[in-house]
Chains A and B, each alone.
Chain A
Amino acid sequence: MRGVMLATAAAAAFGLVAGPAAAQCDPDYRGVTLTAGSQTGPFIASAVQVAGASWAEKTCGRVEVVEFPFGELYPKYLTAMVAGEASFDVITFAPAWTPDFAPYLAEMPDYIRRTRVWQDIHPVYRDRLMVWNGKHLSQTIDGDLHTLSYRTDLFNDPAEQEAFEDRYGYALDVPQSWDQYYDVAEFFTRPDDGLWGTAEAFRRGGQQFWFFFTHAASYTNHPDNPGSMFFDPDTMDALINTQGWVKALEDYIRSVEYSPPGALNFSSGDIRTAFAGGQVAMNFDWGDTGVIAADPEQSQVSGNVGSSVVPGSSRIWNHKTDQWDEMDEVVKSPFMAFGGWQAAVPGSSRKIEAAWDFIEHLSNPENSGVAAITGGSGVNPYRFSHFTNVDRWLGIFSADEAEMYLAAQKGSLDAPNVAIDMRLPGYFSYTEVLEIELSKALSGDVSPKEALDAIAEEWNDLTDEFGRDAQLAAYRSSMGLPPL
């Protein structure tokens, strides 16, 4: 009897000690340490670390963030996954790598797709970039697309407006077409005043080709031929040397004229600095330019940052008829450049359940909402709640700036002719030749047409080498088209 009483007392005492601790761990991942891979911080890595700390508090588990330079991420992840090593439980990566990673990733558990906040993710991410071959293999943790930033102090200056109208015959306003973009860029290019019209990334390895793609989307993403921007979705023939692409490359090269000196060596980081430093009247970039330029500690133009959807075109090349189609109005084709960081769980992880729980925590509306308005997190909005909760953004922007910034971001995502970035197996093989030929065209070594012909030839060779049927199926999947 005494033994029973002692046992009961001990059990009660244990309950008093362990009960509250267990209750705090929801779900209980005590003893679980997740290894999450990220590019070197602060961008993205800091968001993962912050979420890791709060996940640890919530679940009693632990998240160890290992960081690598961006250029090292792909080989590090791929070699680990191909070898079946459990080096990473969570990987954060570019959507373009999904085709190469897909065979090694664990599918997202159903319960995440049944949560009430699932529909809060914008469908461009939820139904397109997070999906490969009909399966949800990754979770968007950052929204990425190109938007236009411009200086409202210059655009709203009556003297500038009058001078612009006198010179170009129409009112100075946010450029709606690329022709207007170059008028504005030319107008504000005043080297003697230390002011240039625009800034784009031109450096090989400096996010160069995404800027070229943004130009090209306006001329090649034909609304009647979905998924035909890069390749013919019926034959997988490269379309990168059509007249639409030639026009885009001519435009892209023209941008150098209106950019600050040495722009050929600019990466996206440089163009943010140029805009925030008041060197340029406008630029187009990921959402980072808007956030950095609005910060008085980093910017000389804070309080004067306008945002808009990137310009479009009223002429779009139709590869089926081999001619330009004239549209009734300017068609905006915002480009989902890069497409936003994704998080996924390698199938070789031994903690798949915990890893997905962490990803769900990292990307839930509360945590991602805070990350999106934290300067330096690198997280841009991708959930509806990120766009609707305007008050949250007032810590960064003025009310006007916030309204324009969010309207530009959401307007781009909602655009009917939004263009999705290329995602293909062997992605780096395709983009390598692209970068080399673009650099040659930018430095004037070859003409735009010669550069694009060389790229098309190499892309076709690569497609044949990798297997045309397999590549075609992958391309159609990436563009949201049904199998042939």
Chain B
Amino acid sequence: MREPIKYVFIWPAFLVVLIVALFPLFYSLIVSFQSMRLVPPVPPRFVGLGNYADLLGQERFRSVVGTTSLIVFCSVTVQYVLGFAIALALHGKVAAERLFRVTFLLPMLMAPIAVAMVARMLFHSTVGPINEFFTLVGLPNLPFLTKASWALGAIITVEVWQWTPFVILMMLAGLQTLPSEVYEAADLENATPWQQFWGITFPMLLPISVAVIFIRVIESFKILDTVFVLTGGGPGISTETLTLFAYQEGFKKFNLGYTSALSFLFLIVIILFGVVYLAVLRPTLEKRS
């Protein structure tokens, strides 16, 4: 209060942030408590928590949450394990290391829609090269995109293919910051590579691992392009994800109140995950620091 003039300078910036960042959020929150449809045009009316209750009671919503979680859990797990392994290999000064680095990063540079288009051709039931190869060697064709379990597998595979490079990039950067003296000391103690990994590398890279997994989980929850192109959410709704469900409700059916509620539930799911994830890992991270 001694320098009130400072508020004069802070408030304009604060107002801009408020308007740009928070207004859409508040507006969306208000809409989520209304029944608002553009098609057919229905006058907005206040329904309180009705949209949220409808969603939570809807089998389809629970199904898409389950499907999205499954895709996220499986794909991020494989991405992390595979990405870490490849980063270790690249860090170990393999031959043609630079070529491998560039090659491994290529999938991440492609647009997800293009990756999904390529994958759709690869997994095509009749003209796809994978099934053509199976035919060539006398194996039966697999229903990659027409059976729920195979379709989920195809989506997870594409996610892993495209986003493992991100994990490689981050883990490799982390590996390059590790002090070499620790490993020299371990060598003197005759520690095996496996002991060095579990005793030094993994614990020292834990903070960056936590961040990488957190980023990938949040990004994976937003998966849309791959599913949209590869399976359209089918067969049935077996591969439908939260974002595709929101797209259908918002941009096909223009059910705006419902879609806003869905977006906030989506936000709550992500926040809950983040809180639980960080709460579980905090003791370990604090011990390390």
Contacts and interface: CB of A to CB of B under 8 A. Distances in A.
Contacts of A435: 234
A74 B253 CA distance: 10
Given A261-B141, A432-B248, A443-B146, A204 B236 contact: yes
A262 B252 contact: no
Interface in A417-453: 425-426, 428-429, 432, 435-437, 439-440, 442-443, 445
A435 B145 CA distance: 16
A75 B250 CA distance: 9
A204 B252 contact: no
A443 B236 contact: yes
Contacts of B252: 74-75, 428, 432
Nearest to B39: A100
Given A262-B125, A264-B143, A265-B146, A426 B234 contact: no
A79 B248 CA distance: 15
B41 to A, nearest CB: 7
A103 interface: yes
A212 to B, nearest CB: 15
Interface residues of B, number: 28
B235 interface: yes
Interface in B87-101: none
Interface in A149-206: 203-206
Interface string B144-161: 011110000000000000
Interface in B37-51: 37-42
A482 to B, nearest CB: 21
- Interface on chain B toward A: helix, strand, loop, or mixed SS? loop
B38 A470 contact: no
Given A74-B252, A439-B235, A440-B236, A426 B126 contact: no
A260 interface: yes
B236 A100 contact: no
A436 B60 CA distance: 10
B251 interface: yes
B254 interface: yes
A436 B125 CA distance: 21
Contacts of A445: 236
A443 B235 contact: yes
A205 B41 contact: no
Given A78-B38, A264-B143, A265-B146, A429 B233 contact: no
A204 B40 contact: no
B237 interface: yes
Nearest to A474: B40
Interface in A49-82: 74-75, 78-79, 82
Interface in B238-255: 248, 251-255
B126 A204 contact: no
Contacts of A261: 125-126, 141
Interface residues of A, number: 34
A466 interface: yes
Interface string B194-237: 00000000000000000000000000000000000000111111
A462 to B, nearest CB: 10
Residue with the highest number of chain A CB atoms closer than 10 Å, among B37, B40, B232, B248: B40
A82 B236 contact: no
Contact of A262 (B39, B141, B233, B253): B141
A264 B146 contact: yes
Contacts of B131: 262
A262 B235 contact: no
A445 B145 CA distance: 16
A204 B146 contact: no
A206 B42 CA distance: 29
A265 B143 CA distance: 9
A203 B234 contact: yes
A95 interface: no
Contacts of A428: 39, 252-253
B134 to A, nearest CB: 11
Contacts of A82: 38, 41
Contacts of A262: 124-126, 131, 141, 143, 145-146
A99 interface: yes
A429 B126 CA distance: 32
A204 B234 CA distance: 6
B211 to A, nearest CB: 35
A265 to B, nearest CB: 5
B146 A426 contact: no
Among B41, B124, B125, B236, the one with the most A-chain Cβ atoms within 10 Å of its Cβ is B236
A306 B273 CA distance: 59
A283 to B, nearest CB: 15
Contacts of B146: 262, 264-265, 443
Given A74-B252, A262-B141, A466 B42 contact: yes
Contacts of B255: 429
A206 B143 CA distance: 17
Contacts of B143: 262, 264
Nearest to B35: A465
A425 B40 contact: yes
A442 B235 contact: yes
B145 A425 contact: no
**B232, B234, B255: most-surrounded residue (chain A CB, <10 A):** B234
Interface centre among B42, B124, B131, B232, by most chain A C-beta atoms within 10 angstroms, is: B232
Interface of B: 37-42, 124-126, 131, 141, 143, 145-148, 232-237, 248, 251-255
**6 tightest A-B contacts by CB?**
A262-B125, A425-B40, A204-B234, A264-B146, A205-B232, A439-B236
Interface of A: 74-75, 78-79, 82, 99-100, 103, 203-206, 260-265, 425-426, 428-429, 432, 435-437, 439-440, 442-443, 445, 466-467, 470
29 contacts: A75-B251, A78-B38, A78-B254, A79-B38, A82-B41, A100-B40, A103-B41, A203-B234, A204-B234, A204-B236, A205-B233, A206-B232, A261-B141, A262-B124, A262-B145, A262-B146, A425-B40, A426-B37, A426-B40, A426-B253, A429-B253, A436-B237, A440-B236, A442-B235, A443-B146, A443-B148, A443-B236, A466-B40, A466-B42
